[in-house]
Amino acid sequence: MFTLPALPFDKTALAPVIDANTIDFHYGKHHQTYVDKLNGLIADSGFKDWILEDIITTADGPIFNNAAQLWNHSFYRNCLRAPQENNMPSETLLHAIIAQRWTWDAFKELFSASALANFGSGWTRLVKNAEWQLEIMNTSNAWCPLTTGATPLLTIDIWEHAYYLQYQNRRAEYIEKRWTIVHWDFVGKCHSELP
C-alpha cells in the first residue's frame, strides 16, 4: 500500500509564491486522494505488491491515472524550495540548457510560454528525451514521462488546483513567480544522474 510522501519543505516555505492554504488543499487533499484511490483500486488486483513506477508503465485506466498522479505530484514537489533571489541552475545544467541553442532567458521564456499555452489541465516539463536531448514538453491530465522513456528534470503543475486558490485565473503570474522557487539542486541532480 502506498502512503503520501512527506512534504520536502515546510508548508509555509514557498510563501509568498505558493501559500500554505494552497499547499493544504493541493497536497493534503488532492495528492492524498490519489494515494487513497490508488490503494483502493489495487487492493484486490495483481498490482498490489508492485512498485509505483512499474504500475505506471504497465497499467491503464483509473489505476494508471491515480498512480501517475501520485508520482507526478511527488516529483513536482521535489522541484520546489523556498524562494531564492537570482535563482539559477548549476553551471553544468546551465551549459546543458544553452547547448540546446537556448539562452537562459530564452529557455525561461519558452518554458513559461509553453506552460501558459498548455490547454486545460496538465503539466509542463523539462525532460531528457529518448534521444538524450533536453526538451520542453506539454502533457495533459495524468500523462507521465516514464511511459515514453523520457527522463523528467523539472515539472510545473498547471492543473488549476495547483494555483487557483491564490492566483484565480492569473496562470501567467503563477508561472512567472514560480521561477523563484525552482529547486535547481534537485533538477541538477536528476540531470547529473543521466548517462
Look up the CATH number of the domain holding residue 56.
Answer: 1.10.287.990
- One domain for residues 139 and 70: no
Nearest to 116 by CA among 152, 183, 163: 163
pLDDT tens digits for range 57-107: 999 999 999 999 999 999 999 999 999 999 999 999 999 999 888 899 999
Report yes or no on 10 lying in a domain.
no
pLDDT of residue 194: 62
Nearest to 79 by CA among 149, 180, 195, 11: 180
User: How many domains, the chain?
Assistant: 2
Question: By residue range, what is the domain housing residue 171?
Answer: 91-192
- One domain for residues 100 and 186: yes
pTM, whole model, 2 decimals? 0.93
- One domain for residues 153 and 128: yes
Residue 111 sits at φ, ψ, to 5 deg, of -65, -45
pLDDT level of residue 18 (50, 70, 90 thresholds): very high
d(CA 140, CA 122): 4
- One domain for residues 44 and 133: no
- One domain for residues 117 and 175: yes
pLDDT tens digits for range 151-174: 999 999 999 989 998 999 999 999
Report yes or no on 127 lying in a domain.
yes
Report yes or no on 4 lying in a domain.
no
Look-up of cell digits 545544467: 93
pLDDT of residue 195: 54
Report yes or no on 5 lying in a domain.
no
- For residue 86, the number of C-alpha atoms closer than 13 Å in the C-beta half-sphere is 1
